[in-house]
Amino acid sequence: MQALLKLSRGIDAMTTTIGRWLSWLILIAVIISSANATIRKIFDVSSNAYLELQWMLFGAVFLLCSPWTLLKDEHIKIDIVNHHLPLKVRSWIDLIGHVFFLMPFCIVVLWTSIPFFLVSYHQNEQSFNAGGLPQWPAKSLVVLGAALLLVQAISEIIKRVAVMQGLLPDPNKLALSAHEQAALEAERLAEAISSETK
């Protein structure tokens, strides 16, 4: 199990590095969007390439940073139900979800998106819009995103099994529900306001 945990730590490090670097693409997309809008308003000139580049950058962040979201446990959960369950039940839900839902989903996406990408690449598929960008780079993001998410799912399964065996501390143990987080923030805000008025 220690070898698997070492593999999991390596996957987590890779996912974190990719996520941190690629999250900067949001800033680049905002700059391109702002520049394109400004040029369009001032000079009445626009480019489909800039519009499509914004979409591709957003798609890259969404698809390639999703493993980082999974690693940080920031994906959507039904907190109102999840946090009322015992830790052991939550661990089983996570494990079953990763093994029987997330991994098959990633495999199906990979299985269907690789031919989709290869056809586009071999045809050098171009945008239907005048002056647009090639389409195969965007389609490659689906393949890369599914592959990275599948690898991170393997890491999450390893960690969940280790938690269930008592080899790792349970991250759910200290996790707060959205309602508990909001109540805690409200309490902190009230304390800050009362200390300022004194």
Kindly give the confidence (pLDDT) of every residue in the chain, 198 residues in length, as a single tens digit, with 9 standing for 90 and above.
789 889 999 999 999 999 999 999 999 999 999 998 898 889 888 788 888 899 899 999 999 999 999 998 887 766 666 677 777 888 888 899 999 999 999 999 999 999 999 999 999 998 888 888 899 999 999 999 999 999 999 999 999 999 888 888 877 666 655 556 667 777 888 888 877 776
pLDDT the model gives residue 192: 80
Whether residue 22 lies inside any domain: the answer is yes
As a whole-number percent, the residues of the chain with pLDDT over 70 amount to: 90
Whether residue 78 lies inside any domain: the answer is yes
**Burial annotation 171-189 (CB, 10 A radius, 16+ → b, else e):** ebeebebeeeeeeeeeeee
Whether residue 74 lies inside any domain: the answer is yes
Sign, Cα dihedral of 85, 89, 94, 98: negative
Whether residue 98 lies inside any domain: the answer is yes
- Which helix (H) or strand (E) segment holds residue 13: the answer is helix 2-22
**pLDDT tens by residue, 79-132:** 666 677 777 888 888 899 999 999 999 999 999 999 999 999 999 998 888 888
Beta bridge partners of 134: 126
pLDDT the model gives residue 50: 87
pLDDT the model gives residue 178: 55
Whether residue 195 lies inside any domain: the answer is no
Q: What's the domain count of the chain?
A: 1
The span from the CA of 137 to the CA of 130, in Å, is 18
pLDDT the model gives residue 26: 93
Q: By three-state DSSP, how is residue 18 classified?
A: helix
Residue carrying the six token digits 């389609």: 139
Whether residue 109 lies inside any domain: the answer is yes
Residue 158 tokens, joined: 């390893």
Range of the domain at 12: 2-170
* Cβ(18)–Cβ(67) below 8 Å: yes
Judged by phi (left if over 0) then psi (alpha if -120 to 50, else beta), residue 86 lies in: beta
Whether residue 149 lies inside any domain: the answer is yes
The span from the CA of 91 to the CA of 85, in Å, is 10
Whether residue 197 lies inside any domain: the answer is no
* Cβ(20)–Cβ(62) below 8 Å: no
